[in-house]
Structure 1
Amino acid sequence: MSAPAHPTGGTTLLVIAKEPVPGRVKTRLTPPFTPDEAAELAAASIEDTLRTVLTLPALRRVLVLEGRPGPWLPEGFDVVPQSAGTLDRRIAAAFGLCAGPAVLIGMDTPQITAPLLAPALAPDGWEGCDAWFGPAEDGGFWALGMARPDPGLVQGVPMSLPCTGGLQRARLVDAGLTVRDLPELRDVDTAEDALHVAADAPDGRFAAALSRLGGPVVR
């Protein structure tokens, strides 16, 4: 049986992620979850994210991975290793892989749906638009897109701070780019985040894993 066809488009979709190794991923979920449980949730989060990306129109789908692929990786992705250095440098290097329009997302928003990213991936998504920005509730960002990827517009932005998103968006605007915004989403960092995100996507693998591990899904 041939592999399923995936929708094509003119934009490269990048997913930056970390191999779900116990004790090295989602450490803020511990406690209440054990390192093994946190890694299980991380794997479910990656899988939900990647399977949604497969439904989106893309020129190329690239997993920018720290670590090794696992059974959570579906077919349909090119896998490239993350560069060394701080997160801003790793994101910048990911954009450096692209010669044309690119949108980058992370592994922390398993509740993403095709409609959330549709504006940036529509045939006219880059008309009159130089960049797409998806803010996160914690002050960061969950999506970043550039019509003409410029690693220098990310490198040097301090990451994982309440001001990160504002600084990154300002960097784009100050460079003279026309920026459009995607809906705000909540990252999975803490157990409380996990409950809310699972409630937003109750049919996903992440919600199922959380329920199996004893985390009730809030409704």
Structure 2
Amino acid sequence: MSATPAAARPQVLVLAKAPVPGRVKTRLCPPCTPAQAARIAAAALSDTLGAVTSVAASRVLVVDGGYAVPPGWTTVAQRGGPLGDRLVGAFADTRAPGVPAVLIGMDTPQLTARLIGAALAPLGVPGGPDAVLGPAADGGWWALGLREPAHAEVLHTVPTSTPDTGRRTLAALRRRGLRVHLLPRLRDVDTAVDARAVAALCPPGSRFATAVAADVPALMAAAR
């Protein structure tokens, strides 16, 4: 039996910012300094890329800024202004005929290859769902997968970074006539409290957990 061509594999897209102090994880400040927040962001991105690298899929980092990706990855620059437009652009700029895509961010470093595989699997089942959506505890979403990436156009009309972004995204997908499979709810990292909670969920050897242990607990204790 011949191997599946790489071009026929589903795609995993990681939407991220280069971990530059003052441009990433600004809600960690305070208690973190911009440099500490950037180190935490870099660790989160590294763990996320590591988890995706373990999955049998084509891998694309859709990045704002410059970042050196591991072997086996390609990069695409983000385009557009508002986040919704950048999400649509990420799907459009990486689209391959007949190839489903799952997009995740860099805010859920507790992700494992198993969870990513669970997001990809339903999109490869004939007659299965048209989309998968992973709700986030803050009301947003951590993953969106589409059997046909062109359907990402619905995101143009969905407000982002609100407590009901996830609900509105689900409603927009269903209004388009798509069958949506819901993934497990995850907590993403916005604040220092989130960072500590998510670090406790990370697999052994997590760079994110190590960075949080180094840069967050003492600062939070001092702030009490």
8 Å contact kept, 2:123–2:130: no
> What is the deviation of 1:57?
1.5
8 Å contact kept, 2:133–2:182: yes
Q: 2:208 aligns with which of 202, 206, 210?
A: 206
CA distance in 2, matches of 1:181, 1:62: 23
Which secondary structure does the structure 1 equivalent of 2:9 belong to? strand
> So what's the TM-score if we normalise by structure 2?
0.87
8 Å contact kept, 1:126–1:147: no
Q: Is 1:82 aligned to residue 82 of structure 2?
A: no
Q: Is 1:196 aligned to residue 197 of structure 2?
A: yes
CA shift in 2, pair 1:41/1:173, >3 Å: same
Which structure 2 segments of 5+ residues have no match?
A: 219-224
> So what's the TM-score if we normalise by structure 1?
0.89
Name 2:132's counterpart in structure 1. Answer: 132
Letter of the aligned partner of 2:139 in structure 1?
A: G
User: 1:37-186 to 2 correspondence within 5 Å?
Assistant: 37-58=36-57, 60-70=58-68, 73-96=69-92, 97-99=94-96, 100-122=99-121, 125-127=124-126, 128-150=128-150, 151-186=152-187
Which secondary structure does the structure 2 equivalent of 1:65 belong to? strand
Q: Is 1:25 aligned to residue 27 of structure 2?
A: no
Q: What per-residue deviation string (whole Å, max 9, x for no partner) do you get for residues 91-143 of structure 1?
A: 00111121321000000000001121222323874432100000000000000
> What is the deviation of 1:147?
0.3
CA distance in 1, matches of 2:108, 2:149: 23
Which secondary structure does the structure 1 equivalent of 2:156 belong to? coil
Which secondary structure does the structure 1 equivalent of 2:142 belong to? strand
Q: What per-residue deviation string (whole Å, max 9, x for no partner) do you get for residues 155-213 of structure 1?
A: 12110000100000111111111100111111100000000100001520000011122
CA distance in 1, matches of 2:130, 2:123: 12
Name 1:3's counterpart in structure 2. Answer: none
RMSD (Å) for aligned C-alpha atoms: 1.7
> What is the deviation of 1:34?
0.4
> What is the deviation of 1:214?
4.7
Letter of the aligned partner of 1:195 in structure 2?
A: R
CA shift in 2, pair 1:202/1:146, >3 Å: closer
Letter of the aligned partner of 1:211 in structure 2?
A: A
8 Å contact kept, 2:132–2:180: yes
Which structure 1 segments of 5+ residues have no match?
A: 1-6
Q: Percent identity?
A: 52
Which secondary structure does the structure 2 equivalent of 1:166 belong to? helix
CA shift in 2, pair 1:135/1:92, >3 Å: same
Which secondary structure does the structure 2 equivalent of 1:154 belong to? helix
Which secondary structure does the structure 1 equivalent of 2:118 belong to? helix
CA shift in 2, pair 1:212/1:85, >3 Å: same
Letter of the aligned partner of 1:78 in structure 2?
A: T
CA distance in 1, matches of 2:142, 2:23: 20
8 Å contact kept, 1:141–1:165: yes
Q: Which structure dedicates a bigger proportion of its chain to helix?
A: 2
CA distance in 2, matches of 1:122, 1:202: 22
CA distance in 2, matches of 1:132, 1:163: 17
Which secondary structure does the structure 2 equivalent of 1:64 belong to? strand
